[in-house]
Amino acid sequence: RAPVATVVIQPDKTSPVINRDIFGQFAEHLGEGIYGGVWVGKESKIPNVRGIRSDVVAALRAIKVPVVRWPGGCFADEYNWRNGIGPATKRVETVNGNWGNVIEPNSFGTHEFMDLLDQIGSEAYINVNLGTGTPREAADWLEYMTTDQPSALGKERAANGRKAPYRIKYLGIGNESWACGGNMSADHYVEELKQYSTFVRNLNPAQDPPHRYVRGPKQMQRIAVGPEDDKPEYTEAVMKAWQSTRPWRWGFEGLSLHHYTMGATPMSSPATGFDAQDYAVFVQQTFGMDTLIAQHAAIMDKYDPEKKVAMVVDEWGTWLGPMADTNPRFLKQQNSLRDAILASLNLNIFARHADRVRMANIAQMVNVLQAMILTDKEKMLLTPTYHIFKMYLPFQDAQLTPLTLETGTYRSGKIGVPQVDGVAAQKDGVVWLALTNIDPDQSVSVRTSIKGKAVRQAVGHVLTADKIDSINTFDRPAAVAPQPFSAKAEGDTLSLTLPARSVTVVRLDP
Ligand code: AHR
């Protein structure tokens, strides 16, 4: 008999909205993340619009990417925005010292990034350079992008082809300042943060506060560097400083958290061909994201009990061993059904913390780490992780709905993790349920009910495959792809049979 789990959904209990920005992406100048993956140049034979490849744009449009973080990552703290503007023939070549010491052609700069956002229908999360840059440079970049005035920088933008100011929803102030962003102590970073948040202004009249002293959700949200994994120093120091400031002096609206899932051998765990024990380690570590968020949220609560400051998990995902025959500094890795399952667990965790976690950006969008898309010259494929983002579309801006889940335990060696994980949400009166069967070997039958109502049927999609390490390849691009799923109630009981190693997202019809 298949193991059994029960799910009870309580749609009448109030709970926060799952911010669509938790489905955000991260695109860094790293390996083929931009060059080859997004940008092929206007002269390329690969179909493109103004140099941006059309197959990738179509795929990203389909998952309604809400926000893209750019240009890094570590790259951001060495980026000079001036290298990335002006006529293509005049762009200087620099060296990308973080990621393989390869040439950075700077052909993809501010205007090209904003064009990408226009093409995919997404918002900008610009990370300014606090490591090797200055507040002056960052302020100039913001003025260049956002002023509607005929200042020298405003005129320069217009001369480069863009008259109207750009909209910037989020501004990252430094990146991992505790490591590649400058190896700064938390106290030192706080002093830098004060300078940047004082001087770096968004001048777009549609975003500039009507009154200087008032900031609201429509204004650009500034994201401060927060913790590395479970280390509390940055969270403590940055939030303490936030509490003691007067918002009209300096401030920020979000605190970043970075955490990668790396398995037993960080940065070299196999992407395929792993065993059950290795899989269990990854699942257990993924549940660690919940502990991590709770730990830092508790520190934030001390200084900000009203939860004004968002927690922003702007780098997350698996960090595995590199693909054969690739530059190891390009961080190009395979993406299997395991990655899809882990992505669903992470998204469920972010959703459950919707009161504090209001943006997350998976690392990274194309060809880097846990990517949505892999390309090889003119070829492109959608990874299993991509399909999770597509299946979870109904959860964007839906209201989290309390769910009680009783499930067994999946065991491998000394590790035991819940067999099933799930999250529910409602939008426009419709209840959606996402259920992950973590067990790689056994299907699970889930009795599902909505408090006070009988559920008649469930309709949606399921993602599974022959093996937990099944992947999509250019020869078999749909080996791991969602299939239609439906179940009808018998009497007043709706049972969903979740295949082994699967993610199911359904609409529940009462
Ligand atoms: O995503 C790859 C790198 O990981 C980023 O550049 C950096 O911020 C992190 O250490």
pLDDT given for residue 451 in this prediction: 87
- Cβ atoms 60, 120 nearer than 8 A: yes
Catalytic residue among 28, 78, 176, 253: 176
| Tokens matching residue 96 | 């990308």
Q: Among the atoms of ligand 1, which is closest to the Cα of residue 363?
A: 1
pLDDT given for residue 469 in this prediction: 98
Residues 6 or more apart whose CB falls under 8 angstroms from that of 340 comprise 383, 384, 385, 387, 388, 463, 480, 503
Ligand 1 binding pocket (C-beta < 6 A) is 28, 72-74, 175-176, 180, 315, 363-364, 369
422, 427, 486 from 454: Cα distances, Å: 19, 19, 16
Measure the CA–CA gap between 257 and 451, rounded to whole angstroms. 35
pLDDT given for residue 247 in this prediction: 79
Measure the CA–CA gap between 200 and 287, rounded to whole angstroms. 37
- Cβ atoms 424, 446 nearer than 8 A: no
Domain 4-10+402-509: homologous superfamily in CATH = Golgi alpha-mannosidase II (2.60.40.1180)
Measure the CA–CA gap between 18 and 357, rounded to whole angstroms. 9
pLDDT given for residue 108 in this prediction: 98
Domain with CATH 2.60.40.1180 in the chain: 4-10+402-509
Q: Among the atoms of ligand 1, which is closest to the Cα of residue 99?
A: 6
Expressed in angstroms and rounded, the spacing between residue 369 Cα and the centre of ligand 1 is: 10
Q: Among the atoms of ligand 1, which is closest to the Cα of residue 98?
A: 6
Which residue do the tokens 């067994």 mark? 408
Q: Side chain identity at 327, as an amino acid letter?
A: N
CA torsion, ordered 371, 373, 375, 378, to nearest 10 deg: -160
Comparing CA positions, the residue from 322, 313, 364, 398 lying closest to residue 20 is 398
Site to substitute for ligand 1 among 32, 74, 79, most atoms within 8 A of C-beta: 74
Residue 325 CB coordination number (10 Å): 6
pLDDT given for residue 211 in this prediction: 64
Q: Among the atoms of ligand 1, which is closest to the Cα of residue 28?
A: 6
Comparing CA positions, the residue from 82, 73, 90, 78 lying closest to residue 126 is 73
- The 10s digit of each residue's pLDDT in 150-160 is 999 999 999 99
37, 277, 372, 376 from 54: Cα distances, Å: 11, 40, 15, 14
Residue 509, classified by CB atoms within 10 Å of its CB into exposed (0-12), middle (13-18) or buried (19+), is middle
Domain with CATH 3.20.20.80 in the chain: 20-77+116-396
Mean pLDDT for the chain overall: 96
**Closest residue CA from atom 3 of ligand 1:** 73
Range 20-77+116-396 has CATH code 3.20.20.80: yes
Expressed in angstroms and rounded, the spacing between residue 425 Cα and the centre of ligand 1 is: 31
pLDDT given for residue 498 in this prediction: 97
Q: Residue ranges of the chain with pLDDT lower than 70?
A: 1, 209-214
**Closest residue CA from atom 6 of ligand 1:** 73
Comparing CA positions, the residue from 73, 109, 79 lying closest to residue 95 is 79
- 3 state DSSP class of 199: helix
- Cβ atoms 22, 347 nearer than 8 A: yes
**Closest residue CA from atom 1 of ligand 1:** 363
Expressed in angstroms and rounded, the spacing between residue 164 Cα and the centre of ligand 1 is: 32
ipTM entry: 0.99
- Cβ atoms 86, 92 nearer than 8 A: no
**Closest residue CA from atom 4 of ligand 1:** 73
The phi and psi torsions of 19 (rounded to 5 degrees) equal -60, 130
pLDDT given for residue 24 in this prediction: 98
Residues 6 or more apart whose CB falls under 8 angstroms from that of 142 comprise 128, 168, 171, 200, 201, 202, 203
Measure the CA–CA gap between 338 and 28, rounded to whole angstroms. 24
- The 10s digit of each residue's pLDDT in 185-230 is 999 999 999 999 999 999 999 987 666 666 777 899 999 999 988 9
Residue 378 CB coordination number (10 Å): 12
176 counts as catalytic: yes
